Amino acid sequence: MLKFIFKGIIRDRSRSLLPIIVVIIGVFITVLMSGWIKGIFSDLIDVNANFTTGHVKIMTSAYAENEAQIPNDLALLDVDELIKKLNSDYPHMEWVKRINFGGLLDIPDKNGETRAQGPAVGRAVDLLSPHSKEAERMNILKSIVKGSLPTKQGEALISNDFAEKFGLKVGEKVTLFGSTMYGSMMFKTFTVCGTISFGSAILDRGAIIIDISDAQIALDMNDGASEILGFFNEGGYNDVMADSVKASFNAKYSSADDEFSPQMFKLRDQNGLDRYISLADSVSGLMVFVLIIAMSIVLWNTGLLGGLRRYNEYGIRLALGEEKSHIYKTIIYEAILIGLIGSIIGTALGLASVYYLQENGIDFSGLMKNVTMMMPGVYRAKVTPDLFYIGFIPGLVAMTLGNALAGFTIYKRKTAKLIKELDV
């Protein structure tokens, strides 16, 4: 009997191909949009994590209190030793040191006289170590407009906006004026090895990026750093794990009595991200929920219409002596089979598309030139574990329920009415 029913499904395209295509499309849209929505919110969090907050961040308590002022006189010391301990205590995380600084960039003319000057916000990250992931993490390589990454000490990347504004070219010199960790005046000349544009005004205005060893020398921060950022090796931000790491670190290394003792903050503790993440979770959850409901209604109706369209067939089968319960079971089996095939194909296609968008993204930086929020220029989708099953809710469950409801009318209608409706 099952073979007989299967033959019918295969031969009748309106029973097989058409509903399968509808299910595939519905599931595909559900998976793609869910991945896209999660990706966008996740991108916003990742940008903050990669540029400023890490998944967790260590600063001195005193530095943390005045972080906006970049008080490097309150920076961490003995960071290499601390990082060694962190690597031992938390081997599932990567730890990187960073120095933030402010200053004045002076551009000399051919005689060495000041041609132009402008305020600059600097970041010093590990660009020269062979295994450093910092350039990749901050998307520096893809953001370089002209030139290349620093390959040796004394080289700097300058904001492309800044360079264009002051007619600065790759290979020319710039001098950074500022103050050392101990408050004395410093100046250091760098060769511009490239210009950079992150596509976000807040990151691009007067930015200078140098290797951390240069900053340590220039700012007299030997074995010091403004902050140490920690990133989970697997996947993105995980609040539960961050909480656990924070608690254990602060219990072990932090002291309430010592303002220079290191203190760990998780991503949610910083820059008002707690509210943002809660909001993002709620909004993305709501959007995915609405999407699933909408797709469920579409596929429910597909199942319902598919079932009602076969009223004629059910009448014939009843007349030939098939039991109502048997017909009902076959309707459900068919719906499950079609829902399953459609959901598997739709999920596979959706995941492939989400993966493609995760790797390549869509570049909206052209539309965000004057955006002052820290937002990514390239928006990516994100493959998350729930994408592997989320499409089955509309694809399998709603489709089956729609068919079940349509099939239920067999019980509700009088048998004679089913037969009478045959003779049209």
Partner 1 sequence: MEVIKINNLVKRFPMGKGYFTALNKINLSFEKGEFAGFVGPSGSGKTTLLNIIGSLDTPSDGSVIVMGKSVSDLTYKQSARLRNKHIGFIFQTYNLLPVYTVFENVEFSLLLQNISASERKKAVMEALEWLDIADKAKSKPNMLSGGECQRVAIARAMVKKPEIILADEPTANLDSENSHRILQTMKKLNEELKVSFLFATHDEKVMKYLDRIIALVDGRVASDEKNISKLEIKV
Interface with partner 1 (CB under 8 A): 1, 4, 7-8, 11-12, 15, 312-313, 315-326, 414-416, 419-420, 422-424
Whole-number minimum distance, CB 299 to partner 1, in Å?
A: 23
Smallest gap from Cβ 331 to partner 1, in A, equals 15
Query: Considering the complex, what minimum distance in angstroms separates the CB of residue 311 from partner 1?
Result: 12
Q: What are the Cα distances from residue 326, in Å, to 123, 186, 323, 409? A: 71, 87, 5, 14
Q: Closest separation between CB of residue 329 and partner 1, Å?
A: 13
Q: Which is nearer to partner 1, 319 or 362 (CB)?
A: 319
Q: Which is nearer to partner 1, 146 or 413 (CB)?
A: 413
d(CA 375, CA 269): 19
Residues 6+ apart with CB under 8 A from 424: none
Q: Torsion-angle region of residue 189: left (phi > 0), alpha (psi -120 to 50) or beta?
A: beta
> Looking at this protein, which amino acid is placed at residue 232?
F
Nearer to partner 1 by C-beta: 15 or 188? Answer: 15
Q: How far is the CB of 13 from partner 1 (least distance, A)?
A: 9
How far from 366 is each of 64, 200, 378, CA to CA, in Å?
A: 34, 10, 10
**Positive/negative CA dihedral, 338, 340, 345, 349:** positive
By beta-carbon proximity to partner 1, the closer residue of 240 and 320 is: 320
Which is nearer to partner 1, 80 or 323 (by Cβ)? 323
- Nearer CB in complex with partner 1: 12/386: 12
- Residue 419: CB minimum distance to partner 1, A: 5
Tokens at 387, concatenated: 């994408």
Q: Which is nearer to partner 1, 369 or 420 (CB)?
A: 420
CB atoms < 10 A from the CB of 113, how many? 8
Task: Work out how close the CB of 314 gets to partner 1 at its nearest, in angstroms, rounded to a whole number.
Answer: 11
Closest CB 341 distance from partner 1, rounded Å? 18
Contacting residues for 24 by C-beta, under 8 A, at least 6 apart: 342, 345, 346, 349
**Alpha helix ranges (H) inside 123-166:** 134-137, 140-143, 160-166
* Helix segments in 310-323, DSSP class H: 311-319
Q: Helix 2-11 and helix 324-360: axis angle, to 10°?
A: 50
Q: Which helix (H) or strand (E) holds 128?
A: none
Minimum distance from residue 396 beta carbon to partner 1 (Å): 24
Closest CB to partner 1 among 14 and 255?
Answer: 14
Backbone angles phi, psi at 38, to 5 degrees: -65, -40
CB atoms within 10 A of CB 61: 17
For residue 302, what are the contacts with CB-CB under 8 A and spacing of at least 6? 19, 22, 23, 26, 399, 402
Nearest residue (CB) to partner 1, 173 versus 413: 413
**Residue 324 CB, nearest distance to partner 1 (Å)?**
5
DSSP conformation class of 355: H
Task: State which residue, 113 or 423, has the beta carbon closest to partner 1.
Answer: 423
Q: How many CA atoms lie within 13 A of 404 on its CB side?
A: 10
